[in-house]
């Protein structure tokens, strides 16, 4: 949607499962990309010199799936970088340059590629965990947007994520304050500023969440305030959809998703030739409106628009 709005966007696949990359490339293209070791087009090829202990980050050229949209492809082999990042985190407190090079690798790769394509915004896709790869990924982020489902797992996820993010931020701030952190390469600032959450994949009836999900939706605002923002008075008594921290509440587009995956295009760009006929056509228009509203909120909260 950002690209649709004419905004130059860099998408970065930092999830070792590479789901974002597979949304753009079919299996033939993926096999060609990975069989060649990434051809300097994936995040793994960029960190490979650090992983192998033979140098710093390598230059890469992003893929360009469409106008105004660039992609640093993912690779299942990125999981091998997890141990290196875990070791580097503890060594970074002593100001070890090699450790700081590893921890700041994603930040520097994204900065370099983003500048090369004149990107106005970068979206990073990460896996659903709190491991070392995600820690290094989120250190590179200025802002944090949290996708949630209306269920117990998302509620518990907030309880784990919020304190962990604050701990990572405090620890990285201490590393930046160390005299030994005065290195010749760029280190990410302690960003990770939460800008809100998006609730998705809940069923609706007459444009309202069904009762089975309502109890979870009503608990999210207070839990977000308490766990993510560290608010000592987190109680929220209003409905979920009026919570200012809720950027959007997206309905379940289950029937459109398979069509979008087959067509390898966004759900809101599906056409009759893609199978979006009858009631699906109206669903596509509703999807477009919801994603446009979500994107405008993200631009506003990240300071890219007023």
Looking at the structure of the chain, the number of domains it has is: 2
Read off the pTM. 0.91
Whether 119 maps to a domain, the answer reads yes
Percent of the chain scored above 90 by pLDDT?
A: 69
Do residues 194 and 142 make contact, with C-beta atoms less than 8 angstroms apart? Answer: no
Whether 174 maps to a domain, the answer reads no
Q: Could you tell me the residue range of the domain that residue 35 belongs to?
A: 1-141
Domain ends where: 108, 141, 174? 141
Domain harbouring 67, CATH code = 3.40.50.300
Say what angle helices 81-91 and 132-139 make with each other, to 10 degrees: 70
Whether 282 maps to a domain, the answer reads yes
Whether 89 maps to a domain, the answer reads yes
Residue 50 CB: number of other CB atoms within 10 A?
Answer: 20
Q: Which of 205, 287, 216, 278 is nearest to 253 (CA)?
A: 287
Whether 241 maps to a domain, the answer reads no
Whether 159 maps to a domain, the answer reads no
Q: Locate 74 and state its tokens.
A: 């993912």
Domain ends where: 125, 141, 157? 141
Whether 266 maps to a domain, the answer reads yes
Q: What's the rounded Cα separation, in Å, for the pair 66 and 62?
A: 12
Mean pLDDT (whole number) for 197-208: 70
Q: What is the pLDDT of residues 138-188, one digit of tens each?
A: 999 999 999 998 889 999 999 999 999 999 999 999 999 885 568 889 999
Mean pLDDT (whole number) for 118-133: 95
Do residues 213 and 189 make contact, with C-beta atoms less than 8 angstroms apart? Answer: no
Q: Locate 72 and state its tokens.
A: 């640093």
**Domain shared by 1 and 137, yes or no:** yes
Given this model, what pLDDT does residue 204 score? 59
């Amino acid at each position: 949607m950002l690209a649709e709005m004419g905004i130059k966007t860099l998408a970065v696949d930092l999830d070792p499962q590479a789901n974002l990359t597979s949304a753009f490339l079919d299996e033939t293209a993926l096999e060609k990309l990975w069989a060649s070791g990434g051809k300097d087009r994936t995040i793994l090829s960029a960190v490979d010199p650090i992983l192998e202990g033979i140098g710093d980050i390598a230059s890469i050229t992003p893929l360009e799936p469409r106008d105004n949209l660039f992609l640093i492809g993912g690779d299942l082999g990125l999981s091998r970088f997890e141990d290196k990042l875990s070791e580097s985190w503890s060594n970074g407190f002593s100001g070890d340059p090699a450790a700081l090079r590893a921890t700041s690798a994603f930040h520097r790769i994204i900065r370099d590629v983003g500048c090369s394509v004149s990107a106005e915004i970068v979206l990073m896709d990460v896996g659903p965990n709190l491991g070392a790869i995600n820690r290094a990924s989120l250190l590179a982020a200025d802002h944090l947007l949290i996708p949630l489902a209306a269920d117990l797992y998302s509620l518990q996820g907030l309880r784990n994520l919020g304190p962990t993010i604050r701990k990572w931020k405090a620890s990285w701030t201490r590393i930046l304050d160390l005299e030994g952190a005065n290195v010749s390469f760029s280190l990410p600032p302690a960003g990770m500023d939460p800008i809100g959450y998006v609730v998705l994949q809940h069923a609706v009836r007459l444009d309202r969440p069904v009762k089975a999900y309502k109890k979870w939706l009503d608990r999210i605002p207070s839990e977000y305030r308490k766990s993510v923002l560290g608010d000592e008075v987190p109680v929220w008594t209003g409905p979920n959809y009026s919570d200012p921290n809720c950027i959007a509440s997206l309905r379940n587009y289950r029937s459109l998703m398979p069509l979008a995956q087959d067509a390898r295009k966004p759900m809101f760009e599906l056409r009759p030739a893609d199978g979006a006929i009858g009631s699906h056509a109206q669903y596509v228009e509703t999807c477009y409106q919801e994603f446009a509203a979500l994107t405008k909120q993200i631009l506003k909260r990240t300071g890219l628009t007023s």
